[in-house]
Structure formats: C-alpha cells, structure tokens
Amino acid sequence: MLARASQRLLEIRQAFRQLPQASRSFSTALNYHIDSPDNNPDLPWEFTDANKEKVKEIISHYPSNYKQSAVIPLLDLAQQQHGGWLPVSAMDHVAKIIEVAPIRVYEVATFYSMFNRTKVGKYHLLVCGTTPCMIRGSREIEDALLKHLGVKRNEVTKDGLFSVGEMECMGCCVNAPMITVADYSNGSEGYTYNYYEDVTPKRVVEIVEALRRGRNHRVAHKIHNASTQDQKEFFAELFIITSGDNVIATKFDLENLALQILGAPRSPQIIAYRERLHTGMQLLLPEIWAS
C-alpha cells in the first residue's frame, strides 16, 4: 500500500516537472567554451581608449598587490563595451590586466549569471523568475515576450536587437511581476539598466515595440511608469514624435520636457505643457508634425 502510494507520488512529481534538466540555469551559456568564429581565444580584443582610462581608475581603487580584486568591475566594463557579452578573448584580456591566470577570470565570469558569455541583443530583457513574480505571472510574461519576438530563451532576434533571459529576484516583489532591460545599444557610455514594474503580457510587448521604434529607453520607461492617465497619453504622444530617426537632435530637449512634466502630475499643467509642446514642435519640425 505504502509502496504504491509512494510510487504514485513519484509519478505525480515526474509529471509536474517542467524540464528534463535538473537545474535552472540563469547563465546565457554553458560552463565550457566552444570555439566559434565570433568567439575564440585568437580574436584580438582591447579596451577602447576611453575605457582604458576607466580601467586605470577602477584598478586604482584596489591595492597594487590585490589587482585581482578588480575582476568584476573590469568584466562589467568589457561586457558593456562589447555589446553586452563577454567573448573569451575579452576575459583573457582582463586576466592579463589583473595579472592572473585566465581560468581565475573564467571562474568569476561563469559564477555570475549577469556576465553573458554568448551574444545577447542590444536590449537584453530579463524576466524575474523568482517565486513572487512567478505567482504574479512571470511565466506568461516570458511566454509573451518569446512569442512576440519569435525566439527561444537566450536566443537573439535576427535583427540583433532583443534577447530574453531569466533573472533572479530584483528586489521589488511588491510590484511583481517585473522585468529588467539591460540596454547595450550605446556602448559603455550609454549603458543603462532599467526596471519595469507591474508589467503585463500586453505591456511588455508595448515596451519591446517602444524600444524597437524609439530605441530610447528613458521615454519608453517614462511612458510605462507614468502614474496618471493624462501623463500616459502625453508620453504616448511624445513617444510618437520622438520615434522617427531624424528627430534625434531634438530628442534630448523633449526628454527634458518630459521630466519636467513628471514633476507636475496635475492635469491642467500637463495640458498646458502639451499645448506648449504642440506649438513648439510645429515650429521646430513642421514637416514631421504634419505627417
């Protein structure tokens, strides 16, 4: 009787198990390296001149006989510079800078799942998979993203813009579910890490589309996190204006404007701002405004 019950229990467990793999892996790559044309130890890799200054600055934080302490910030910098992922040659280069054996750097890079050892999209979307977010539907969010982008997990879309991964708790379970967007589109200078809270399967798709068209994080972010309906409408409009590629020059002004608006949540003020914006835009870019 007992044996049958335990057998049954085992069957139930087996049935509920989602994947045949024993452990979830948050890393984008395997624990060993496979040579490929864009990732092999023979490729040259160097920090850019601007980043070389940063490397010096980072290393200056540590005693000269403990250079190896700089391994994580240096790997992070290398990852930002290399479009969000670390090829083997970049890790070798870091090892050379901090004067340790390459394996000591590989150990660190494989330990931390936020170091990507395979190619990721310019926008790397990380869905929180921890319990509170999972209960609030993070699986659906991931499915929605994967379906919308037509990729598998840790796979990059054909245009190289997006990839979806999983991440551990982001520490904001009160607003679960949430996603993170790591933005590698502007190199290490423009690198940002943005959190989107209270997302829904519909909203994440909108965020993706916003990023795709605007490629501008701050705007997409503001739209999503706007608190009032008026604000939302305003940002949607603002977003449409800024989404064209040829308005880059004015984007920054618009964003500044948007930030001011955030400080003014009441509707009448926003309406005033909208009017100012309309007139301003008409003056600035009449042809876009007309279209």
Q: Output 30 or 271, the one with its CB closest to another protein.
A: 30
- 219-258 positions binding another protein, by CB under 8 A: none
Q: Would strands 179-183 and 123-128 be described as parallel, antiparallel, or unpaired?
A: antiparallel
Taking the complex as a whole, the smallest distance from the CB of residue 29 to another protein amounts, in Å, to: 10
- Cα gap 255→248, rounded to integer Å: 11
- CB burial string 133-153: b at 16+ within 10 A, e below: bbebbbeebbebbbebbebee
**Of positions 3, 4, 15, 20, contacts another protein by CB under 8 A:** 20
- 22-51 positions binding another protein, by CB under 8 A: 22-23, 25, 27, 30-33, 35, 41
Question: Please, what is the angle between helix 248-262 and helix 229-242, to 10°?
Answer: 170
Q: Output 38 or 245, the one with its CB closest to another protein.
A: 38
Taking the complex as a whole, the smallest distance from the CB of residue 173 to another protein amounts, in Å, to: 21
DSSP state at residue 179 = E
Per-residue binding letters, 112-151, with another protein (x by CB under 8 A) = xx--------------------------------------
Q: What stretch of H or E contains 28?
A: none
- Cα gap 194→273, rounded to integer Å: 26
Q: Output 109 or 145, the one with its CB closest to another protein.
A: 109
Q: Binders of another protein: how many residues, by CB under 8 A?
A: 27
Q: Output 32 or 66, the one with its CB closest to another protein.
A: 32
- Cα gap 219→210, rounded to integer Å: 8
- In the numeric block, which tokens belong to residue 10? 């085992």
Are 247 and 291 spatial neighbours (Cβ–Cβ below 8 Å)?
A: no
- In the numeric block, which tokens belong to residue 114? 């936020």
Taking the complex as a whole, the smallest distance from the CB of residue 136 to another protein amounts, in Å, to: 24
* Integer Rg of the chain from CA: 23
> How crowded is the C-beta side of 89, counted as CA atoms within 13 Å?
14
Q: Output 95 or 208, the one with its CB closest to another protein.
A: 95
Q: Output 13 or 61, the one with its CB closest to another protein.
A: 13
Q: Output 23 or 227, the one with its CB closest to another protein.
A: 23
Helices and strands: H and E segment counts in the chain: 13, 4
264 three-state secondary structure:
coil
**Of positions 13, 61, 202, 266, contacts another protein by CB under 8 A:** 13
Q: Output 18 or 291, the one with its CB closest to another protein.
A: 18
DSSP state at residue 122 = S
- Cα gap 118→111, rounded to integer Å: 14
**Of positions 4, 5, 21, 174, contacts another protein by CB under 8 A:** 21
Per-residue binding letters, 70-109, with another protein (x by CB under 8 A) = ------------------x-----------xxxxx-xx--
Q: Which stretch binds another protein (CB under 8 A): 20-28, 125-133, 174-182, 262-270?
A: 20-28
Residues at the interface with another protein (CB under 8 A): 10, 13, 17, 20-23, 25, 27, 30-33, 35, 41, 88, 100-104, 106-107, 110-113
